[in-house]
Copies of this chain bind each other. A is one copy, B any other.
Amino acid sequence: MTIEGRDDTAQARIRLGMVGGGEGAFIGAVHRIAARLDDHYQFVAGALSSTPEKAMRSGAALGLDPKRTYGDFEEMARRERRLKDGIEAVAIVTPNHMHAPAAAAFLKAGIHVICDKPLTTTLKEAKKLAALAEKSGLVFCVTHNYTGYPLVRQAREMVRAGELGEIRVVQVEYPQDWLTENLEATGQKQAEWRTDPARSGGGGCIGDIGTHAYNLADFVAGQQVAELSAELTTFVKGRRLDDNVQVMLRYANGARGLLWASQVAPGNENGLQLRVYGDRGGLHWRQDNPNYLYFTPFGKPTQILTRGGAGAIAAANRVTRIPSGHPEGYLEAFATIYTEAAAAIRAARTGAKVDPAVNFPTVDDGVKGLAFIEAALQSSRRNGAWTKLG
């Protein structure tokens, strides 16, 4: 167990700001808990809403200094860079269309970025942002949070170590049911912006959760998708973006994949699951009970690998906080992304090398996500034609 030393630190905590995440938001609070859980950050500034009064009210509710509660992210970037104890990193948790301009503003201000996904609303914009990030030399973390689960990391390492042999088949899915009806028509805020092309980009379900599924498969299977054939469907009348996504994947090594994401599958809450099969074994992991990983070496009984338990390996144990049998969940996995980014940000303070074990999704993963979305949109428009990823 590596809990001591993970949650606590003698080194000064990282000063963190936030863009978005005010009143009525969902993911902002998740980011704040994630930042706090291992005690590597202190939250000191925010542009929490695009509506100024709401921004002020949200800042007050969260105990921010009113002087560091900003009406917009540009002002925040401009002023924080000048403060002696200005923020070192910013979390961007707005609707998708604001990710790129906000991230660019903070990169230009020399501030590290932790940005929600999908990275941007277009691949072009994503690539531009990635170039800017690279030039800046700053840390740029994209919160593909499911890669923070210890057993997802274990799965990845087992694949890399060859325990599955050559990868042949990848089955990944992310079904939900919350958009089974026309929820956006009721004014529900989350539904509204996530089904609005102006704020979400051209992908609905595929951007919101399809990219998570894609990222998870990419992270674990470690294979490059060469081309895909996609069928995007909108089932709910009046909805402006896709709410069900089927994608067939061809990997560069010859493996085949199927990705299914849906927001209209009653009985599924956040049913992300991944199965990977090679010529020597198979793996199965589900987010709704994430402390167990099913591993079958071909021809032998399936083993239940538990987080922190017998068979858990170093890559999983270094991001594990509590003993096996005591479940960790979504917030802990999210916190791990923040804690990994913190290691990189602290290293940047002194120019030290980042520990090679540190692992978090970067702007490049964000670009991959947009390449996936755009290829899928294009394929679907072209009646499922096999389409290469940009």
Contacts and interface: CB of A to CB of B under 8 A. Distances in A.
What is the interface residue range for chain A against chain B? 35 or more
Given A168-B235, A325-B270, A331-B332, A309 B298 contact: no
B268 A10 contact: no
A233 B304 CA distance: 29
Given A301-B304, A303-B303, A264 B277 contact: yes
A366 to B, nearest CB: 21
A314 interface: no
A269 B386 contact: no
Interface stretch (A57-65, A108-116, A127-135, A344-352): A57-65
A375 to B, nearest CB: 15
A10 to B, nearest CB: 5
Contacts of A62: 8, 10
**Copies of this chain, tallied across the complex:** 4
Contacts of A177: 282, 296, 298
A269 B33 contact: no
A112 to B, nearest CB: 21
Contact of A325 (B36, B38, B271, B384): B271
A91 to B, nearest CB: 14
A299 interface: yes
A161 interface: no
B169 A325 contact: no
A191 to B, nearest CB: 13
A362 interface: no
A327 B5 CA distance: 25
Nearest to A12: B63
Given A63-B9, A246-B248, A384-B384, A327 B330 contact: yes
A185 to B, nearest CB: 15
Contacts of A306: 269, 301-302
A244 interface: yes
A262 B300 CA distance: 18
A383 interface: yes
Contact of A324 (B164, B256, B269): B269
A29 interface: yes
Interface in A17-53: 23-26, 29-30, 32-33, 36-39
Interface string A186-198: 0000000000000
B8 A248 contact: no
A299 B310 contact: yes
Contacts of A144: none
B180 A279 contact: yes
Contacts of A256: 231, 233, 244, 246
A284 interface: yes
Interface of A: 1, 3-10, 23-26, 29-30, 32-33, 36-39, 60-63, 164, 168-169, 171, 173, 176-177, 180-181, 229, 231, 233, 235, 244, 246, 248, 250, 254, 256, 258, 260, 262, 264-271, 275, 277-284, 287-291, 294-306, 309-311, 321-332, 383-384, 386
